[in-house]
């Protein structure tokens, strides 16, 4: 086993990647390894955009969202010809261990790479959607939730002043985690997520009665993955509940911003576990965080299964 190890950010960036890069440099050096950065995801592997990392590279980045080394999706990495080029580039630098901060797609990419070329890797689940099977937590989720919280607190101020219904749309692809946690912690009146069937009719009488009893505003949190779009929910408020309404799509602000304390701490722990695992002979694994703590799980149990929302959490929608 060589002493050279590289880190890559792949797929959607999250807040928490920069603290992870910082600790990667510190922890590898403490373990007498030589750290490398691969810039711009798997494209960087193909383009040979791989550089030895120094303390200076990670100075002053712990408080910054996004990732200093860039992230990307790479169509070319899906082609064996380009993976061979990536392997040649790693060989030229004597790198045989990779850490990837990404989602299940990125892990599947390295799984293919490992099967073909034997390059060892450890995955760190990183996506604000929190939709990776096997882990309760993905890097970036806490910061995203805090950004949503700040936005909703501000929206509540204007909703109450103007007597309006606000439909706030959160990210999450097919996973309603961000919307559900936001619903629970913001005290919203309505939450619609892909995992739970709904019929707006069931809310009409209740909401109209609440209006008559003096309710001035409504907050509805909807996940981007539901069948209807947010404008249709807003129209329903206007037509059936009789209240002026507005839509606020939070969009990419959820992915950026100053990393929360929890994400900084989790970034440090994920990175330390990833490096320890590779040094300990775990050739192909993903670090998962569950009620049992940190665990190394196989790719099959993480990247090839669909995540379902925790039943305990779903009860909050009943
Ligand atoms: P995420 O990691 O956020 O789920 P993607 O699904 O877009 O992101 O995957 C990121 C990258 O991983 C892709 O652009 C591609 O380069 C690589 N990848 C995904 N699946 C495979 C695969 N089966 N074989 C090779 N590369 C893959």
CA atoms of 260 and 145, how far apart (whole Å): 10
**Are the CB atoms for 289 and 137 separated by under 8 Å?**
yes
pTM check: above 0.75: yes
What residue ranges of the chain have pLDDT lower than 50? Answer: none
Domains 4-140+259-307 and 142-254 share a fold: yes
Which ligand 1 atom lies nearest to the CA of residue 103?
A: 2
CA angle 270, 271, 273 (to 5 degrees): 65
Gap from CA of 72 to ligand 1 centroid (Å) = 10
Residue 286 has a CB neighbour count (10 Å cut-off) of 29
**pLDDT at position 250, please?**
96
Q: How many residues does the chain have?
A: 318
CA atoms of 289 and 234, how far apart (whole Å): 37
CA atoms of 224 and 175, how far apart (whole Å): 9
The full set of domain ranges for the chain reads 4-140+259-307, 142-254
Single out the residue of 137, 117, 113 nearest to residue 127, CA to CA: 137
**Are the CB atoms for 32 and 93 separated by under 8 Å?**
no
**pLDDT at position 239, please?**
97
Query: Which of 44, 77, 110 has most ligand 1 atoms within 8 Å of its beta carbon, as the pocket-test mutant?
Result: 77
Active site residues: 129
Query: Is 142-254 assigned to CATH 3.40.50.460?
Result: yes
**pLDDT at position 1, please?**
65
Question: What Cα–Cα distance (Å) separates residue 26 from each residue in 52, 53, 54, 123?
Answer: 13, 10, 9, 19
Q: Which residues line ligand 1 (CB under 6 A)?
A: 10-12, 42, 73-74, 77-78, 102-106, 108-109, 112, 127
List, for residues 229-252, the tens digit of each pLDDT value: 999 999 999 999 999 999 999 999
Q: Which token pair is 97?
A: 């261990």
**pLDDT at position 317, please?**
86
Gap from CA of 299 to ligand 1 centroid (Å) = 14
- 252, β-bridge pairs: none
Query: Under CATH, which number does the domain 4-140+259-307 receive?
Result: 3.40.50.450
Q: Which token pair is 120?
A: 């060892």
CA angle 278, 282, 283 (to 5 degrees): 85
Percent of the chain with pLDDT over 90: 89
Gap from CA of 187 to ligand 1 centroid (Å) = 37
List, for residues 188-229, the tens digit of each pLDDT value: 999 999 999 999 999 999 999 999 999 999 999 999 999 999
């Amino acid at each position: 086993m060589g002493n050279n190890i590289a880190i890559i950010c792949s797929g959607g960036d999250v807040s928490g990647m920069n603290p992870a890069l910082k600790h990667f440099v510190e922890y590898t050096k403490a373990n007498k390894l030589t750290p490398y950065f691969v810039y711009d995801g798997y494209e960087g592997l193909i383009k040979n955009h791989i550089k030895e990392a120094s303390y200076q590279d990670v100075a002053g980045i712990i408080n910054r969202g996004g990732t200093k080394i860039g992230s990307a999706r790479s169509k070319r990495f899906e082609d064996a010809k380009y993976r061979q080029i990536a392997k040649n580039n790693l060989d030229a630098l004597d790198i045989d261990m990779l850490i990837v901060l990404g989602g299940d797609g990125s892990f599947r990419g390295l799984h293919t790479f490992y099967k073909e070329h034997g390059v060892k890797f450890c995955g760190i689940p990183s996506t604000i959607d929190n939709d990776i099977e096997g882990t309760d937590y993905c890097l970036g989720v806490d910061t995203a939730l805090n950004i949503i919280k700040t936005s909703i607190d501000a929206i509540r101020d204007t909703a109450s002043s103007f007597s309006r219904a606000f439909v706030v749309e959160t990210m999450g692809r097919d996973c309603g985690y961000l919307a559900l946690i936001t619903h629970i912690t913001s005290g919203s009146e309505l939450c619609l997520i892909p995992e739970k069937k709904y019929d707006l009719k069931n809310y009409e009488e209740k909401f109209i009665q609440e209006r008559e009893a003096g309710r001035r505003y409504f907050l509805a949190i909807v996940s981007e993955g539901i069948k209807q779009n947010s404008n249709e929910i807003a129209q329903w408020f206007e037509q059936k509940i009789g209240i002026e309404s507005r839509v606020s799509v939070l969009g990419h602000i959820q992915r950026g911003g100053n990393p929360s304390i929890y994400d900084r701490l989790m970034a440090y722990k994920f990175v330390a576990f990833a490096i320890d695992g590779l040094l300990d002979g775990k050739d192909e694994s993903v670090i998962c965080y569950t009620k049992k703590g940190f665990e190394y799980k196989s790719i099959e149990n993480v990247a090839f299964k669909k995540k379902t929302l925790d039943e305990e959490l779903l009860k909050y929608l009943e």
